[in-house]
Structure 1
Amino acid sequence: MTSLKADIDLVQCPVCMKDFTKNNIEIHVNKCIFLNTQSENSCKRPGSPNENIPLTQIKRVKKAKVEMSSSSATNDGDNSQNQNVNKRKKDYNDNKDIPLAEFMRPSLLEDIIGHRESFGPGSMLHSILSKKKIPNMILWGPPGCGKTSIANVIANVCKEQSNLRFLKLSATMSGINDVKEVVKVAKNEAQFKRHTVLFMDEIHRFNKLQQDSFLPHVENGTITLIGATTENPSFSLNNALLSRCRVIVLDKLTVDDVTKILERAVEKNNLVMVDDGEKITLENNTTKCLIERASLKWLAEMSDGDARIALGALELAIASHEKSAASTTPVITLQNLKDGIKRTHMLYDRKGEEHYNVISAIQKSIRASDDNAALYWTTRALHGGEDPLYIARRLIRTACEDIGLGNPNAIVEAVACLEGCKHIGMPECDVLLAQCAVRLARAPKSTEVYHAMKRVQRSLRETKGPLPPVPLVLRNAPTKLMKDLGYAEGYNTRNRDSSGFGYMPEGLENVNFFNEETILKSELL
């Protein structure tokens, strides 16, 4: 009876024809497909996705599949392994190799700090993720705002579902071949009703051709794509890919958000937070040090909305103030942090969107005659490493576009500023740019020429048919034939009111581009 019962519970593997129990057959089939080490001919089946693929490539694919399948397995052995990993990560102090920023990554939707409009309670994405559904999305935000942390939350959502698999790649270390391998595995997993969610970090590092490799698989649902980028997707990603994914804009974390993250790190790191001058008696000898609340506030302010910078600074402060066995519990004061940690960065990308945002702020501050703002944005651009010659060139443009005839000397001063920057360079030329920006902001403004030019351009664009020819009297006549044709006949150098002829082309005699009313009356516009 025992032997008969065992035969009933056994199921034959369709790949290797071996018998396994019902509880283990599905796990074995996965491993049998991906880990079969027999020869190329023996591991093929009719219609197998590995047909016509070189054996060396199959082995490489199998290696990747081993790593990916290990993250999605649902048997008891894998669950116990995940529990061991979580157990190791519970106490940050037991594993100094894990950076504090990595240790503090949230695992639940409720643990996300900031981004309330996108992922907070009541938002559409919060509702979708709560239902264990993952949409295609592009996470766009500055460094340290939580893009990878949100991906970590989505990874945990996938772990809770046996029909979801989460994979992570980075565009800095991957290429099209890696994407193709992921797609192959995703198609195989789809046969067992498991859907693949691919997180592609730094997706803007892929060129437009590489990004095209995602399109068919995202469109037909083979994979769900989650991309993370610090660059503006409008410039760095394909329009076709953007149309298939929802762009989630993540702003910088506020000071309050970063402070909450630091307070949570203090709580999980066996620290005690005290107010200035507060005296407390420690009942727990495991406390490594005390930290003043003002210290956390200062760290949050100096991080410029980057939680990774703030946590890294806190980690350095903890490491430098940990007590020894014979010493008393030290206190991390605000002055300790100011002496040991300086502001070492500022978010400014000379080739990214911030480059254009700041230079636009300079010109618009000058246009509004706000000398204080013009000085601030010019100095901030220089502080962020902007090319001083680029700023000087934009000041020349501003001198013509926004000041114009209001102060004709403005263009002379702007060009002189550019020449001065070329001669002395940074850091000496910073005062030249600051002075020029303030001078332009205080100068009287006239946009008469600029707007008249725009009206002429609009007239040229909207003219129907061929453009009107140049009047004969205005044409040059260097040859006898041209003179015989009437070129320059009757031309004189008198003023237009007494010369006896018009200087505008036929049909535009009564149009004055400095007066918009005459343009509206023209039949050409």
Structure 2
Amino acid sequence: MADLFGDLAPPTPPAVDTPLADRLRPQGLSEVVGQDHLTGPEGAIGRMVAAGRLSSIILWGPPGTGKTTIARLLADAVGLRYAQISAVFSGVADLKKVFAEARDHARTGRRTLLFVDEIHRFNRAQQDGFLPYVEDGTVTLIGATTENPSFELNAALLSRAQVLILHRLDAAALGELIARAEVEVGRDLPLTTEARAALIASADGDGRFLLNQVETLFAVDLSEPLDPAGLSALLHRRVAVYDKDREGHYNLISALHKSLRGSDPQAALYYLARMLTAGEEPLYVLRRLVRFASEDVGLADPQALVQCLAAKDAYDFLGSPEGELAIVQACLYLATAPKSNAAYKAQKAAFKSARATGSLMPPQNILNAPTKLMKDIGYGSGYAYDHDREGGFSGADYWPGEMDAETYYEPTDRGYEKRIAERMAWWDARRTEHRGTGDA
């Protein structure tokens, strides 16, 4: 590259001392691994290249999945000048320079593909600055982001670009990268079959990370192949990729919540472990478990809420790591408890009704009458004290006179709610009897 914003020189074979990841960069879109859904003949990128027309694109995907490589190869495939900037290192002056250069080249009939790495790092005003140059065709924008574009990019910019999602590299794609590295280096990776699988798993879908680890292994003089234990001792453990205020945070808590709701204790425990080992705040997890106890278990097992609050107290008392066992216990309790969202549905229905009828006066017989005047005008008159009635139940009507009785809470036939449903049915029958006789 002539300079930060200039044309790419024609590809030249990388030097032997170039990092392995750079030496293995694909020379054509057909060599990109793991993204066939985009780069294949039926993929969005494949179709654009076949048509010879490229629209602006946002490439969204995890680190090490080929976003930069695809952008570079796209420019070659459709004959565009290639320019690249990084939102991490660039400011307004840099943007003005790259747009001015692109406009100069456009006057000679040569359009520019502008690749913007980490585009979500630009603020809203900077993102708006791209719009006129994208609209008039000065640049074809290819933005790369690891963050959800819906949250991080302007709606105006998104409306002018197609969002394409890159997949985390699977085991087959990562295995292909290792095979290419072995061909490049000229010898097999010094690992047993089991250690090779462990290395692939440790990459967590990141091809760049994998190749860096492979390069380290090739540089070490080993007398015999490493087994998984030897590999673990040689290489530092990869820290889990987890940004607590970004999309990964919400994806994992969603997966935990839905696994609990689906009564899968094994999957729930896995996602709980993913969060805690990645550094999530345990009290945040506990807050979500407490919420789940009310929303998805409810009165099907009233102990669920008690268990979660007890886990919170235990964690406060013990701290990490001992207190995390109490979180695990609460998680397993919720996953294996009978499920009911009847209380959650009842809350939503009751709140909606209250907003619609919030000014209605309750019937006079159940109004408080702390003064003589209030008693004289009928407050509390005719109140039926339930404890004095047979079965401790009066069957009185407690609804405002201008409103029909509503049904908000409908218990399920699961867990403790089955008993609640039987009790409510008995009360409903008695209430109907009382109304029929006028004795309420």
Name the TM-score, length of structure 2 as normaliser: 0.82
Matched, 1:240 2:176: no
Which residue is 1:456 aligned to?
350
Contact kept? 2:72, 2:82, Cα under 8 Å:
no
CA contact (8 A) 1:106 1:152 kept: no
Local SS of the residue matching 1:86: coil
Are 1:510 and 2:426 counterparts? no
- Secondary structure of the corresponding residue to residue 419 of structure 1: helix
AA at the equivalent of 1:402:
D
Q: CA deviation at 1:497?
A: 6.9
Does residue 438 (structure 1) correspond to residue 353 (structure 2)? The answer is: no
Residue 86 of structure 1 aligns with an amino acid whose one-letter code is: T
**Secondary structure of 2:188's partner?**
strand
Alignment of 1:71 with 2:3, yes or no, is no
Matches within 5 A, 1:169-318: 169-269=85-185, 271-273=186-188, 296-318=196-218
1:105 aligns with 2:29: no
**Aligned twin of 1:395:** 289
Instruction: Call closer, same or farther: CA 1:487–1:402 in 2, change over 3 Å.
Output: farther
Q: Which residue of 1 aligns with 2:431?
A: none
Q: What per-residue deviation string (whole Å, max 9, x for no partner) do you get for residues 258-295 of structure 1?
A: 111121122122x2238xxxxxxxxxxxxxxx776665
Structure 2 counterparts to residues 130-149 of structure 1, below 5 A: 130-149=50-69
- What is the deviation of 1:246? 0.6
Match for residue 422 of structure 1?
A: 316
User: Alpha-carbon deviation of 1:334?
Assistant: 4.2
Q: Cα distance 1:477–1:69, how it changes in 2: closer, same or farther (>3 A)?
A: same
Is the CA contact 2:311–2:327 (under 8 Å) kept in the aligned structure 1?
yes
The one-letter amino acid of 1:311's match is: L
Determine if contact 1:272/1:291 at 8 Å carries over to the other structure. no
CA distance in 1, matches of 2:313, 2:92: 47
**Aligned CA distance change for structure 1 residues 249 and 124 (closer, same or farther; 3 Å):** closer
CA contact (8 A) 1:421 1:429 kept: yes
1:471 is matched with 362
| Deviation for aligned residue 1:219 | 2.3
Mapped contact 1:298–1:334 kept (Cα < 8 A): no
**Superposed displacement of residue 68, structure 1:** 6.1
Contact 2:4 2:85 in 1 (8 A): no
What letter is aligned with 1:356?
Answer: Y
**1:87-98 pair list within 5 angstroms:** 87=13, 89=14, 91=15, 93=16, 95=17, 98=18
Aligned partner (choices 79, 86, 101) of residue 12 of structure 2: 86
Distance 1:146 1:404 in 2: 46
Secondary structure in structure 2 of the residue aligned to 1:435: helix
Distance in 2 separating the partners of 1:422 and 1:497: 43
Deviation of 1:383 after TM superposition, in Å, equals: 1.1
Distance 2:382 2:212 in 1: 78
| Structure 1 residues not aligned, in runs of 5+ | 1-63, 73-81, 275-289, 323-329, 517-525
> Aligned pair 1:337/2:253, yes or no?
no
Look up the match of 2:273: 379
1:107, 1:156 within 8 Å by CA — same for their partners in 2?
no
CA apart distance, 1:419: 2.2
SS in 2 for 1:511: coil
Distance 1:291 1:501, change over 3 A: closer
Sequence identity percentage:
37
Q: Deviations over 1:449-498 (max 9, x none)?
A: 1122222345467x5xx7552336366677899x4996845373634974
CA distance in 1 between partners of 2:114 and 2:376 (Å):
73
Say if 2:5 and 2:84, in contact at 8 Å, map to a contact too.
no
Q: Verify the 8 A CA contact 1:105 1:152 in the aligned structure 2.
A: no
Give the direction of change, closer, same or farther, for the CA distance of 1:498–1:137 in structure 2 (3 Å limit). same
1:493 and 1:480 map into 2 onto residues whose CA distance is 19
Deviations 1:176-208 (A, max 9, x none): 332232222222222211212111111111222
CA distance in 2, matches of 1:379, 1:437: 11
Q: Is contact 1:292-1:331 (8 Å) kept?
A: no
How well do the aligned residues superpose, as a CA RMSD in angstroms?
A: 3.1
- Structure 1 residue 321, shift from structure 2 partner: 2.4
- Map Cα deviations across residues 73-122 of structure 1 (whole Å, 9 max, x no partner): xxxxxxxxx46x714x1x4x2x3xx3222222212111111111111133
CA positional deviation for 1:360: 1.7
In structure 2, C-alpha distance between the alignment counterparts of 1:291 and 1:378, rounded to whole Å: 32
CA distance in 2, matches of 1:68, 1:384: 36
DSSP-derived class of the 1:138 partner: strand
The one-character-per-residue Cα deviations of 1:328-374 (angstroms, maximum 9, x if unpaired) are xx665446534412432223222222211221222222222222222
Query: Judging changes above 3 Å, is the alpha-carbon distance between structure 1 residues 457 and 206 closer, same or farther for their aligned structure 2 residues?
Result: farther
Tell me how far apart the structure 2 counterparts of residues 147 and 309 of structure 1 sit (CA, whole Å): 14
Question: Distance between the aligned counterparts of 1:476 and 1:179, measured in 2?
Answer: 70
167-176 or 492-501, which moves further after superposition? 492-501
| Displacement after TM superposition at 1:300 (Å) | 2.0
C-alpha distance in 2 between matches for 1:144 and 1:431: 34
The structure-2 alpha-carbon separation of the partners of 1:293 and 1:408, relative to structure 1 and needing over 3 Å to count, comes to closer
Partner residue in 1 for 2:415: none
Q: Using the alignment, how far apart are the partners of 1:299 and 1:377 within structure 2?
A: 21
Partner secondary structure for residue 142 of structure 2: strand
Q: Is the 8 A contact 2:112 2:138 kept in 1?
A: yes
C-alpha deviation, 1:447, in angstroms: 2.3
- Taking the TM superposition and a 5 Å limit, the aligned residue runs for 1:115-130 are 115-130=35-50
The residue number in structure 2 matching 1:5 is none
- Describe the superposition over 1:141-197 as per-residue Cα deviations: whole angstroms up to 9, x where unpaired: 111111112122124336xx3xx3211111111123322322222222222112121
**Conserved? CA contact 2:304–2:334, under 8 Å:** yes
Gapped regions of structure 2 (runs ≥ 5): 387-391, 412-440
Maintained 8 Å contact 1:136/1:246 = yes
